[in-house]
Amino acid sequence: MENNSFDINVELNIETLQSGELTHTKIAEPGKFTQIGNSVYLKFNESLDNDDTASILVKITDEGEIHLKRVAKSKNLASLLYFTHNKHNSGHLETEYGVLPLGTFTKDSKIEILNNPLSGKINIDYDLIYDNNVIGNYKFRLIFGA
C-alpha cells in the first residue's frame, strides 16, 4: 500500500445561506495531503475564538465520494458529513447533549487534483438537512497547493 504525504497550504471558503442570512467563512491554513491506496486525505486546522482550533479532515474516496470530518474538542462538537454528486447522504453532529442525525443533498461536486506541482480544488454545493427540513444551503470551495 502506497502512502505519500506532503505539506500543503489550504484555502477554504464556505458560503452559507440559513434563514435568509448569507454568511462567509474563510480559512487559510497549512495542512497535509496524504494518499493511501486510491483515497486522498487533506488534514488542516481551523482557528476558532480564544486560541482554540478545530481539526478538519477531508477524505476523497476512489469512487469520488467526499467525507468531511470536523472536530472541535474544546467545544464538544464533532461532525461527519458525506457528499456524493447528486445524492442524499446521512451524517451526524455529536454534541455534549447527544448525537443529531444530519443529512446532505449534494447538488454539485467537483474534484480536481494535479500532481506536478501538487495542487487541487474541491467544490461542493449542498443542502444541509435535519428532520427532513433543509436548514441551510452551502457552497464549499477548497483550494490547496504544495
Q: CATH says 3-145 is which class? A: mainly beta
Domain ranges of the chain: 3-145
pLDDT band at 50 (very low <50, low <70, confident <90, very high): confident
- State residue 4's pLDDT score: 83
- Dist. CA 144–CA 106, nearest whole Å: 21
- State residue 39's pLDDT score: 95
pLDDT at 2 over 80: no
- State residue 106's pLDDT score: 98
pLDDT band at 1 (very low <50, low <70, confident <90, very high): very low
How far from the centroid of its chain's Cα atoms is residue 48's Cα? Answer: 16
For 52-91, how does the pLDDT look when each residue is reduced to its tens digit (9 = 90+)?
Answer: 899 999 999 999 999 999 999 888 999 999 999 999 999 9
* CB 45, CB 56: distance < 8 Å: yes
- Dist. CA 64–CA 59, nearest whole Å: 9
